[in-house]
Structure 1
């Protein structure tokens, strides 16, 4: 087995196992740590600006990858979406959402690194995971020129192979050989993306698993003032 075949045939299952078991164990043992540890009280303006852009970009990218890679090819063809049209759509949306996420991420990174109070309360993993996410985004954006080049040539082979590989992973029938001819830029992006799942249980990212939907229907809070009377 070559290193590439291990990386894209075995490593995805290692990352997925750590993601699932690690998240369950952390929730069982440290349920109160399933939160984002907001620092809004220390600085609000940059947090709101960066967080909105970052979350919008990353969430849309996640679902874009999910739909684009895991939807079987015959479904796209049945809907009248050719491989080349699929590639052009992936390039346009990837560039848009990736840029949004990168701008927001850079704002958050500068805030965390250069705001004295935010830096003082930042843990190592807070900085590390933000750096890792930004590198993952940057590598994803770096693949766009390669995709554009192949799209101009009318060749959607790489996109088809990437989708087939992703589908082979989720169906537990890995075919890492599909990525043998894929340029290094894509492989680096895949490795960094897979490693996000490996790191997930050990970071503040776990807060995305606990969506407080009950907030939408919760009653208003009743706040009672406490009066203290002093005797003279």
Structure 2
């Protein structure tokens, strides 16, 4: 890959994607607040939704969390805890298992969306496109596991970690850090940034509204039942 193409794809394109993600999300929140939702198809049919959704979300949250911790943790903290080889092995084990769970759940959701006539009819083109992009991204991530197993010294993994940190910290000529890495890693990175790019225009926008406050909420949840209380029934019969 020539130098200018490598720079454009891995030195410029990531910042375009992240800028569109941030600015596009703010614009949508301001001008399209009523479209800020995941567009759940639960009301159309619940069949397979709970299983597929739970598997996908639990798995992908671990994958995303692992990426943030593994790639953005300070070097001194990682060196103090584990060696580069152990770091790579941990990423392969936890990431591979979580990715497998996520892709199984997403496969169930895609099959449900494409084969159920009601859901398929009510799905926009971007609804299908974004889940297929996510599936491909998970598949690419799983395919990197056997490639990583061939480079257990940690050298290639350290290149990737340094690249991600370089993008976040605006290091100059960061694209050169990916030279010599296997192609599948670079495709995985490009597709990941592309998902960031299109997220403000799709149902993926709801990732900004993850209800983390739910875990520490105070008070009780008020639930209203559809059926009248027994005392009300007796009074009605009288």
Q: Report the TM-score when normalising by structure 1.
A: 0.90
Residues 1:201 and 2:203 aligned together: no
> Out of 162, 167, 170, which is 2:168 matched to?
170
Cα displacement (A) at 1:223: 8.1
**Two-structure CA RMSD over aligned residues (Å):** 1.9
Counterpart of 2:133? 132
**Within 1, Cα distance between the matches of 2:223 and 2:52?**
29
Cα displacement (A) at 1:111: 0.4
Counterpart mapping for 1:45-194 below 5 A: 45-79=47-81, 81-151=82-152, 155-174=153-172, 175-194=174-193
Counterpart of 1:229? none
Counterpart of 2:210? 211
> Which stretch has the larger CA shift, 31-40 or 123-132?
31-40
* Residues 32-84 of structure 1, C-alpha deviations (whole Å, 9 max, x = no match): 111111111222131101000111111110110001011122211112x0000
**Within 2, Cα distance between the matches of 1:167 and 1:224?**
53
**Within 2, Cα distance between the matches of 1:223 and 1:76?**
51
Cα displacement (A) at 1:4: 1.4
**Within 2, Cα distance between the matches of 1:223 and 1:64?**
40
**Within 1, Cα distance between the matches of 2:85 and 2:218?**
45
**Within 2, Cα distance between the matches of 1:224 and 1:8?**
55
Inter-CA distance 119–149: structure 2 relative to 1 (3 Å threshold): same
> Which stretch has the larger CA shift, 166-175 or 13-22?
166-175
Residues 1:25 and 2:27 aligned together: yes
Aligned length in residues: 221
* Residues 123-176 of structure 1, C-alpha deviations (whole Å, 9 max, x = no match): 00000000000011111111111101111xxx2111101000100111111411
